[in-house]
Structure 1
């Protein structure tokens, strides 16, 4: 059993889907958890109630995390409530579900995707790194799209490709401080974001192209996050851990 007793984790984009699963699992391992979320108050409160009912400690912080000030506010609130930060899970992000050819991709969608997925990651790192101790953990949720590209979603693929390079750069930079930086690269995950592509026979067609013949659940992503946050992964850094059922094989 992995124990994170005495540790404090921040999870961004934590009110639902992958983020909620990560927050729940980290808390079940004993970590105190600060959850940053954009707007889903009801879902965030429901998750907080679930964690506290099981004896966990949780902080909710509402707001968009695409600025340095917002990220610093989340880190400051976490330290004021729990006294420290040991683990940072950067999960906040967007995936515009409607595919668009590059010549039809509007600049405002490109900018929004980059501001959320790239700027948010950059500002989150700037805000939290000064407060991470030796043994600190940073884990970012990237995507198979950042490894192989994704037709019709050049904005999203580019943002996740940037994340992968960012993770590798930080791993080298922060290694001498004994801070590990890794990424989970999911394939398809059963969340609200994929309602449109899963409609009709979409899910069946997608599953047929996955060697394990199933779409991941948010818990399937949270488990590897817990591993990377734990002492078991103390010598793993700069890794892009693929959690995609075998749909993209690059190791």
Structure 2
């Protein structure tokens, strides 16, 4: 079973399948002997499965008892969730994607959440990997590009909006997941930002230079971008601009609508 390098959903968390098996058994307060009695396997076989050994047939018998709803995770989702939070946040925007950003919006003055291994080219980078903190350090420049740590997505979007409103930067472009469920997004950010829904998935790079498509959709969110910049980006990168939200003139005054940009 050691050759089966995958993880499951519908079962306790773990970095590897054997870790998931052990965590799920303990979560159910089952000893090896308890699990053996319920599965018809020997305690030695179950212990072997939890170390990465055993057979597929034994694995299926164990799962039928401790995690009957378990199923294999999609490869992209498994990859994206690997490692601790710092590792999961270290996903870098590839150079081929950045080419469209440079061509449409120009040279990047500031990357507030930069990393030494990131391909993003900027005149100034606040390096998270060296103790810098774009959530605290002052922003400056004409154009800031933000591919934030997704574990703190809302905090970074608030920071970008605050720095733009304060005039610290003229234009901000954020590459973020399509997550628009927060009240702050609808009540504040959507009134100032333009959104470009990207077609397809971006293939991010990890710290080893390996690429994997995101398991979720992404959007470009801009503050202060000109019509010329937005039109140029649409010419280069497949997707759809959505116009800035406006409060409805009639009907429910709490409703905001997005319409295709001209």
| Structures share fold, TM-score greater than 0.5 | no
Larger % of strand: which?
2
Interval containing the TM-score (normalised by the shorter chain): 0.3 to 0.5
Larger % of helix: which?
1
Larger Rg: 2
TM-score (norm 2): 0.37
* Higher normalized contact order (CA 8 Å, seq sep 6+, divided by chain length): 1
TM-score (norm 1): 0.38
